[in-house]
Chain A
Amino acid sequence: KAGVTQTPRYLIKTRGQQVTLSCSPISGHRSVSWYQQTPGQGLQFLFEYFSETQRNKGNFPGRFSGRQFSNSRSEMNVSTLELGDSALYLCASSPRGPGLPPGATDTQYFGPGTRLTVL
């Protein structure tokens, strides 16, 4: 199976702009979670989508938003970029769904990430 793919891999933006990142999960996986990784804060949870619905949200401002499409692909958007938004944005996919053994549903596999630099 192909792994999680993320596009673009690298982005350079300036303050005040907005950006959209894309994630395609592993085939058959229905849950997509997004994380932000910075040297200072480590890996922090942004939000999770399952069946096109946001199921869980981390402690990030409303400038961070996301959505999921019917094919499970997901996008996240950051508006009005700030210097502090410079980070590695990681997408993780999980099989999560009914009928699967409990242990199998919550393993998350990460994509290669999108490195966002805000100037």
Chain B
Amino acid sequence: QKEVEQNSGPLSVPEGAIASLNCTYSDRGSQSFFWYRQYSGKSPELIMSIYSNGDKEDGRFTAQLNKASQYVSLLIRDSQPSDSATYLCAVRVRAAGNKLTFGGGTRVLVKP
């Protein structure tokens, strides 16, 4: 079992719709959770971090964390063509310093 798993996609959504991305992780010692966006040929760009169970909203993005079920999700509301990218879920385990373990990423395509 991979430590951090994501559906590779592509997740195709119409412009203006909600894109829903999921990520599951295996280590119950996971402490910090991050979503990064990566455009083709570019480096990952932090979208948001989440540390506690529940929802965290930042603009059109909402992250949801459920530690009991070991998943974290990202919702993108009012999806725009510029949101077309690969979204990476990353997890930090308390005992592993600053090491981030990444999922394989979900490719999102927003169609006008």
Interface residues of A (CB under 8 A from B): 31, 33, 35, 42-45, 48, 50, 55-56, 58, 88, 90, 92, 94, 96, 102-103, 106-113
Q: Please tell me if the beta carbons of B43 and A45 are within 8 angstroms of each other in the complex.
A: no
- Say what secondary structure dominates the interface of chain A: strand
Are B98 and A33 within 8 A (Cβ)?
yes
Instruction: Return chain B residues, CB-CB under 8 Å to A94.
Output: 98
Task: List B residues at the A interface (Cβ < 8 Å).
Answer: 31-32, 34, 36, 42-46, 49, 51, 88, 90, 92, 96-105
* CB pairs A–B below 8 angstroms (16 shown): A33-B99, A33-B100, A43-B44, A43-B88, A43-B100, A44-B102, A48-B97, A48-B98, A50-B97, A50-B98, A58-B99, A90-B43, A90-B44, A108-B98, A108-B100, A110-B44
Q: Give the chain B neighbours of A44 by CB distance below 8 A.
A: 102
B38 shortest CB reach to chain A, Å:
9
B17 to nearest A CB, angstroms? 27
Task: List the B side residues contacting A50 at CB < 8 Å.
Answer: 97-98
Q: Is the interface of B mostly helix, strand, loop or mixed?
A: strand
Whether B98 lies near A31 (C-beta < 8 A) is: yes
B46 CB to nearest A CB, Å: 6
Q: Is the CB of A107 within 8 A of B46?
A: yes
For B34, what are the chain A residues with a Cβ–Cβ distance below 8 Å? 107-108
6 A-B pairs besides A42-B105, A43-B44, A43-B102 with CB distance below 8 A are: A42-B104, A43-B100, A44-B102, A96-B98, A106-B92, A108-B100
Q: Which residues of A contact B92 (CB under 8 A)?
A: 106
| CA gap between A106 and B90 in the complex, in Å | 12
Beta-carbon contact of A103 and B32 below 8 Å: yes
CB distance from B65 to the nearest CB of A (A): 13
Give the 9 A-B CB pairs with smallest separation, nearest first: A56-B97, A43-B102, A110-B43, A113-B43, A45-B99, A55-B97, A48-B98, A42-B104, A110-B44
